[in-house]
């Protein structure tokens, strides 16, 4: 029996259970996020106008990722094409976020880093990452690749066009 192997498996299972960013993590209902104000109700995080009176308070998984600088998705854009179309692409990214976030509060832009011929976009959810990547590929073609990490809990997208 390979004890080492099982030790590692135990650790993985434990880590999975304690993943603080799991969007499936259960909270008492209702819980209000102390940072963005979204509400955990009916087993998911939603935007709502009515704030429940006696609510549990916590940071939602998206705000926790932002605070701890732990993106779920990283999109690396590179190439000379960004010089002429950078602003347009940034607008596209922001519009995609707006649409995604309206329905799914945990899918948000975290940070956009620009540096010469490259743009790095950090997001709090893999769905938003894929949505942005697909939108850029659809609008601007280019070379595109997508790689999952962490048992599909994170995603890295590379896009390049000269």
CB of 87 to Zn ion, least distance (A): 29
**Residue 41 interacts with Zn ion (CB under 5 A)?**
no
Q: What are phi and psi of 28, to 5 degrees?
A: -65, 150
| Neighbour count for residue 20 (Cβ, 10 Å) | 11
- Non-local CB neighbours of 156 within 8 Å, separated by 6+ positions: 73, 74, 75, 76, 146, 147, 149
**Residue 36 interacts with Zn ion (CB under 5 A)?**
yes
CB of 108 to Zn ion, least distance (A): 9
Q: Which is nearer to Zn ion, 35 or 118 (CB)?
A: 35
**Contacting Zn ion (CB under 5 A), which of 25, 30, 35, 90?**
35
**Residue 66 interacts with Zn ion (CB under 5 A)?**
no
| Neighbour count for residue 116 (Cβ, 10 Å) | 8
Calpha distance 72→69 (Å, rounded): 10
Determine contact, residues 60/105, Cβ cutoff 8 Å: yes
**Contacting Zn ion (CB under 5 A), which of 63, 77, 82, 119?**
63
Which stretch in 9-17, 20-28, 46-54, 61-69 sits in contact with Zn ion by CB under 5 A?
Answer: 61-69
Which residues would be at the binding site for Zn ion (CB under 5 A)? 33, 35-36, 60, 63
């Amino acid at each position: 029996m390979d004890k080492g192997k099982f030790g590692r498996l135990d650790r993985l299972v434990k880590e999975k259970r304690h993943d603080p960013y799991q969007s499936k993590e259960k909270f008492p209902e209702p819980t209000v996020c102390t940072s963005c104000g979204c509400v955990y109700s009916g087993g998911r995080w939603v935007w709502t106008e009515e704030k429940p009176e006696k609510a549990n308070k916590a940071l939602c998984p998206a705000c926790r990722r932002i605070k701890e600088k732990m993106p779920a998705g990283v999109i690396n854009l590179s190439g000379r094409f960004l010089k002429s179309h950078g602003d347009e692409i940034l607008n596209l990214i922001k519009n995609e976020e707006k649409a995604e976030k309206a329905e799914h509060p945990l899918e948000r832009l975290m940070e956009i880093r620009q540096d010469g011929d490259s743009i790095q976009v950090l997001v709090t959810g893999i769905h938003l990452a894929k949505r942005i990547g697909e939108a850029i590929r659809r609008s601007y073609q280019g070379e595109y690749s997508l790689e999952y990490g962490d048992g599909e809990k994170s995603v890295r997208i590379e896009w390049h066009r000269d």
